[in-house]
Each structure stands twice: as C-alpha cells, then as structure tokens.
Amino acid sequence: MQHLRAFLRAHGWSYAFILPSLVTFAAFTFAPMAWSAMISFQKVNLRTGGTWVTPIWANYERAFTAQSHVFVVAIGNTLIYTAFTVTTNIVVGLALASLIQPLHRHVRTFFRAAYYLPAVTSSLIVGMTWAYIYNAQWGFANYLLRLIGLEPVRWLSNPDIALGSIIASTMLTIPATAVVLFSAAMGGIPSEYYEAADLDGASPLQKWLGITLPLIKPTTLYLSVIYTIASFEVFERIYVMVPSGVGNSTQTIVTQIYSAGFKDFDLGVSAAQAMVLFAMIGAVALVQFRVLRSDVEY
C-alpha cells in the first residue's frame, strides 16, 4: 500500500491528465471491439439478445461460405484495391515531396498547403464527383473519349472494369498526407549528411537513395500503415460510386460487413467478418513493421 501511495504521489497527476483519453478509448473503441468479438460467436436477435452458436466457429464458417462465397471475392477485391492504392500513394507522395523540398521555404509552404487543402473535402463529396465524371451518358471521362473519336465506356456499370475505375479514381487523387509528412521528414534531415555526400562527389540521385530514403523510413512505415488501414476499410467511395455493387465485382470487406449487419441483420456473421478484417489489418501491419522498421535516429 505504501508503494502505491508513493507511486500516486510521484505520477498521479500524469495519469490524471491522460485519464479522459483512456476513458474515451475504453468506452468508444475497446468496449465495442470486445463486444463485436463476443457476438461473432453468437446468433444475435435484436429483441431477445444473443445465444452462443454451435459449433463455436459457425459464424466464421458462414462468413466465408454464405451467398456463394462472396466474402472471399470481397477479400480479393480489397487486396487488389489496397495493393494499387497504397503503392501509388506512397510513390506519388514521395515524388511530390522530393520535388518541392529544394524550393524556397515560402514556396514549399505554399505547395504543402495547396496539396493538403483537398484532403479536408468529405470522401462522400469526392466519391460523388468521380461518379459524375464516370457517368456513361454525360460524364467528363466519356466526353474526352468522344473528342478523340472513341465510343463511350460504361465505367461503373461494366463488371469487368468497375473495380478498376474505382481504383483509378483513388490513384488520381493527390495523397495529401503523404506529401506533407514526407516533406516534413525530409526537412528534418541534418544538412551535414548532404554536405558530406557533396564532398564525396555524390550525385543528387545517390544522395536521395543513400541518405533521404533510409532516413525517412519511419515516416514511410507510418504512412504505409495508415494508408493500408484506410484501403482495407474502404466503403464510402464504393457505396457512393457503385451503390448496386455491379454484381460482386466491386464488393469489399466493409461493404460485406455492412450488408450482413444492416441489410440482412445477421449481426453474428457481420461481427465475424469484422474480426477477420481486424486480423488481416494486424497481420499486414506486422509485416510492414518488420520490413520497414528502422533503428536510425538523427
């Protein structure tokens, strides 16, 4: 008891300051996640509550086999979407940050703000805008095709290209967070490293590959993780652009979770699919940490 009192006297105020954040996290993040994990093993009725299913993994089995294995298709679509969008966001963000970094400080600040400003736009508005662009009759994309004598394309109603159209719309959106964070990380690298490289006769490309890239690895890791999580959880863009789903060609994990939970009211299967998504995100993040972690400090 004396040790506890001594600890509270020394660190009590520190924990008091973070207590509101801890309570908020416990109430609105940890508790719902724990509840979701529990009902993933139950058959839930909104009036009478939940009962445990037998076998205990039945909801997980149904999650993968229901509706002609559509959840398996959704996982494949999500992985394809994630692979293209995350890679593009990292590469484009790194390239743009590298281009604006040598500019004057005020010009660099202008470009950071200009690139980041569209990021405050609602994802629903962005999705609606791209839906208008892809409209088969009077959309801007088909207008450009008509100008060069090509036939209009059913961008969002052709199951063969609908997912590709959604991926392209994401890839053509400037990765504002990546540009700003990469630029800030590059600005924090000590200039002595580049001066030493100049004395050794290193070219700009050699300095970029040998100094810049290794020292911004922590930022690359952070961006890779947050962009991967966002891509795995993609919903608004697809729901707005292709509300019908075009069969199963544009189904993703979260659209299936939404469909099972809020259309079919099969909360057990919906929770099981959410737990699968949680496990996938955790597994991918673990691989990213193992590959991109860096012990370099400067």
Closest CA to 74 of 263, 228, 260: 260
Kindly tell me if the per-residue pLDDT of 2 is higher than 90.
no
For residue 297, the model assigns a pLDDT of 53
Q: What is the pLDDT of residues 133-166, one digit of tens each?
A: 999 888 999 999 999 988 999 999 899 999 999 9
Confidence of residue 298 (pLDDT cuts 50, 70, 90): very low
Give the best-scoring range by mean pLDDT among 18-22, 113-117, 289-293. 18-22
Maximum CA pair distance of the chain? 84
Percent of the chain with pLDDT over 70: 98
Q: Whole-angstrom Cα distance, residue 85 to residue 93? A: 12
Q: Mean per-residue pLDDT for 190-203? A: 89
Write down the H helix ranges in 26-57. Answer: 31-39
Would you say 259 and 282 are in contact if contact means Cβ atoms under 8 Å apart?
A: no
Would you say residue 125 has pLDDT above 70? yes
Predicted confidence (pLDDT) per residue in 41-59, tens digit: 998 877 777 788 888 899 9
* pLDDT band (50, 70, 90) for residue 228: very high
Q: What share of the chain is helix, strand, coil (3-state, %, to 5)?
A: 75, 5, 25
The pLDDT value recorded for residue 15 is 84
Q: Rounded to an integer, what distance in angstroms lies between the CA atom of residue 110 and that of residue 26?
A: 40
User: Tokens 């590709």 correspond to what residue?
Assistant: 164
Distance CA 165, CA 171 (A): 10
Instruction: Tell me the CA distances in angstroms from 273 to 208, 226, 254, 267, one per residue in order.
Output: 42, 20, 8, 10
Q: Confidence class of residue 294 from pLDDT cuts 50, 70 and 90?
A: low
Write down all domains in the chain, each with its CATH number in brackets: 60-292 (1.10.3720.10)
Average pLDDT along the chain: 89
Q: 42 by DSSP, 3-state: which?
A: strand
Structure tokens at 26: 């416990």
- Give the model's pLDDT for residue 265: 86
**pLDDT, tens digit, for every residue of 181-193?**
999 999 889 989 9
Tokens of 131: 């839906």
Q: Say whether pLDDT at 169 is over 90.
A: yes
- Tell me the C-alpha distance between 30 and 217, whole Å: 30
Give the three-state DSSP class for 44: strand
Residue 116 near residue 179, CB atoms below 8 Å:
yes
> 49-58, 69-78, 125-134 — which is least confidently predicted?
49-58
